[in-house]
Chains A and B, each alone.
Chain A
Amino acid sequence: MANHHILDSQGGDISAQDNWLALSTDTLPGGIALSEITLLELLHRQEKPEVIVPLADLLNTEGALAGGLMNEVYELIVQHSSHLGVWITADTDADVLSKLSELLLKQTLIVIHVPKFADGRGFSFVQTLRQLGYKKEIRVAGEFGRDQIAYLLRVGVDSFVLSEHDIHPDSKFHIEQAFTALASSYGGRDASALPMFAGA
């Protein structure tokens, strides 16, 4: 796996404190978590780690929870994990998310995978998840860019998986700047926050 870092909403590097492991599957893209774990390793491990599983593999072709690839082993994964998260692809049907609120609300972490910089569906997924009442951590991974971080923060993302390449650690353009860009812009969710109504 490429060298990835996890940054919190302030731009601080929390990689050292992050223990999430992505469950290895055929479709696992790079950078969902800092490390992977196979099902077999998980079942044989003494301590219970924090595990991220693919939402798609829990669902059948109709997007319902029954009959998914991993459904049979999900109970085992639950038993062998301390905390659970899911990662979702940009192709996930938003209506499916709405039907799965019970499962989603139980997750400690939801990772949204962005397949392409210009693909903005993830922005609306965050909104959809928050509308469902999900209050815990939402993380973004994949091919988003640092210039989207300010927007992602405003729609409600809590943390970011960035590759070494995105961070440019030696650059004079510090990654922290991405977290404070357009500092005065609003979240798009509240009419009273528009400049002319905010009375600024």
Chain B
Amino acid sequence: MYKYNYADQTLVEERVAQFRDQTERFLAGELPEDQYLPLRLQNGLYIQRYAPMLRIAIPYGLLASYQLRKLAEITRKYDKGYGHFTTRTNIQLNWPKLEEVPDILAELASVQMHAIQTSGNCIRNTTTDPYAGIHAEEIADPRPYCEIIRQWSTFHPEFAFLPRKFKIAVIGTETDRAATQVHDVGLHVKKNDAGELGFEVLVGGGLGRIPVLGKVINDFLPREHLLSYLDAILRVYNLHGRRDKGSKYRSRIKILVDTLGGREFAKLVDAEWEANTKDGPLTLTDDNFATATSYFSEPDYKTFDALQVQSELQQQLADDKDFANWYQQNTVAHKIAGYRAVVISLKAGLVDGKYVPSGDVTDSQMDALADLADEYSFGELRGTYQQNLVFADIETNKLYELWQQLSDLHLARPNINTLTDMIVCPGWDYCSLANATTHNIAEQIEKQFSDLDYLYDLGDIRLNMSGCINACAHHHTGDIGILGVDKKGENWYQISLGGNSSNDAKLGKILGRSVPTEAVADTIQQIVDVYVDLRATTDNDVESFGELVERVGIDPFKEKVYG
């Protein structure tokens, strides 16, 4: 994991001082609201329905145990004892006091954390694959590139007041677990025929009001040009992106790329790049890459007797069905024999009859997870796009005892990739942008789909639910997407089917008119029934929900729901 040196640490501390000064001037009436607003946003601070919301950066989702412990302490001391993990692998506090935010930032700085550029019209936290560095099919570990981008984009003086926000995602495998096609820039690590590393560069993806998939503007950008090329993309966007009044929803780079077309946009970028920055001081050297890579070296993996590991595991799986379910759903193959990655489900559903919102973790859970990370996973955790956490390096023979401890914490629900592994934004309950509540709907769905064996029979179904058109929960890319809308003061829900955020990314199609609050779970049930009726089954394969929608379209579902 990257450890701050003196320069990073100084920078973060200077930022705390700067924001303290800005907040004091704002409270003293010396900094106008229209200036304080973008400044506080660049420190992750929103004003929400009841209180400010502070979004803390977790760069590319990587979190050390001591950082998680600090987060637990902060939620206890300054908030209500819980935090909310987001699709962009950040964590949000819902109840901080404005005047205490500088103190929170100072506490964060003490563990190399911050809220820099987690909001506002600037370059946001770079995200990546939660299995970076541990996946057997990986071309190269994306994290060193993420860290280079983090350092380049932090306080970049030219790109702090862009037309709109700007999100970058990097992956190092063929399989896309970071939704790169719906990012402003998606970078796919590639190797050319000569064995050199570079990137396929996608630009102009994004969801929100006008969902668009990214377009490839460069098939292979040699990696030494990473920063100079990003610099050219950002300059073209900063100068040409829309800023006219009332065009907030047309200000993202996706609109510029769509208007010009991918090829024309690529030409502008190439012209800027070739004329000004290519081969200039932003060019990265092999030494630079070696330095960056050195921060993500492999931990001290042990060697195991594979036969013994397997026989012990098989015994445990045979003895305990609950463990077997969890192993099946919540653990992932590791490139090192004798290790697995573990997905910690932050979709506990109903705990003692009470719904726990997707992505929410309490302070005591955070403390416990930090201890477990120290004991079992080299002191590290990762956040995922699906609002879960990951222990990346668990010894296979420790899975059983880890599972028992996670179960006690309500963090071992074996529902990863099932219908109840929902991505859900906080909705109207917290967010002042939202049109509708989401938690009550998620609770309804939890109650309807509580039978685990039934969920397993349904297989992988991604359900994403946003409380407004801004689409923080990426409803467009769910197999099932739910969008809350407001109709004359009542919450209604529009359902879409067939979305996907991975390699064959596509945007869901709207099923039809929206349904009232009380009918959402029943409607999802009808949709799922159609799937069960129509899915093709062979001896060794069952057609997934996504495959079925792709094959038959949405008409059979329409007929069932509205017919």
Contact = CB atoms under 8 A, between A and B. Distances in A.
A182 B156 CA distance: 11
A117 B38 contact: yes
Interface stretch (B7-15, B326-334, B428-436): B7-15
Contacts of A191: 152, 227, 281-285, 288
B292 A196 contact: yes
Contacts of B288: 191-192, 197
A131 interface: yes
Nearest to B39: A147
Contacts of B243: 119, 121
Contacts of A43: none
A188 B159 contact: yes
Instruction: Say which size band chain A's interface belongs to.
Output: 35 or more
Interface stretch (B17-25, B55-63, B255-263, B371-379): B17-25
Would you call the interface of chain A mostly helix, strand, loop, or mixed?
A: helix
Nearest to B158: A123
Tell me which of A119, A177, A184, A192 has the highest count of chain B C-beta atoms within 10 A of its own C-beta.
A184
A123 B159 contact: yes
A154 interface: yes
Contacts of A125: 239
B314 interface: no
Given A117-B38, A131-B276, A147-B39, A189 B295 contact: no
B281 A189 contact: yes
A123 B238 contact: yes
B450 interface: no
A174 to B, nearest CB: 10
A199 B285 CA distance: 15
Given A168-B30, A173-B21, A184-B10, A190 B238 contact: no
Contacts of B11: 182, 184-185, 195
Contact of B157 (A131, A145, A155): A155
Contacts of A119: 161, 243
A92 B284 CA distance: 33
Nearest to B243: A119
Given A181-B18, A194-B148, A195-B151, A94 B239 contact: yes
Contacts of B281: 189-192
B38 A124 contact: no
A9 interface: no
A124 B151 contact: no
Contacts of B537: none
Contacts of B280: 189
Interface string A27-38: 000000000000
Tell me which of A147, A150, A186 has the highest count of chain B C-beta atoms within 10 A of its own C-beta.
A147
Interface string B150-176: 011011111111110000000000000
B311 interface: no
B514 interface: no
B30 A173 contact: yes
B6 interface: yes
A196 B6 contact: no
B235 interface: yes
Interface string A156-200: 000000000000100101000100011111111111101111101
A150 B275 CA distance: 27
B121 interface: yes
Interface string B26-39: 00101110110011
B30 A184 contact: no
B2 interface: yes
A117 B162 contact: no
A29 to B, nearest CB: 17
A152 B155 CA distance: 12
Nearest to A151: B157
Interface in B226-257: 227, 231, 235, 238-240, 243
A12 interface: no
A176 to B, nearest CB: 12
A99 B497 CA distance: 50
A33 to B, nearest CB: 23
Contacts of A196: 2, 5, 8, 147-148, 151, 291-292, 295
Contacts of B35: 117, 145, 147
A36 to B, nearest CB: 26
A187 B30 contact: no
A48 B6 CA distance: 52
Given A119-B243, A171-B30, A184 B284 contact: no
Given A124-B158, A182-B14, 10 more contacts: A123-B161, A145-B31, A171-B30, A173-B25, A185-B157, A186-B155, A191-B288, A196-B2, A196-B148, A196-B291
23 contacts: A120-B158, A123-B161, A123-B238, A127-B235, A131-B275, A151-B155, A151-B157, A151-B160, A171-B25, A173-B24, A181-B14, A181-B17, A182-B155, A184-B11, A184-B14, A185-B155, A188-B156, A188-B158, A190-B282, A191-B152, A196-B151, A196-B291, A200-B7
Smallest CB-CB A-B distances: 6 pairs: A120-B161, A154-B157, A195-B7, A200-B7, A151-B157, A185-B155
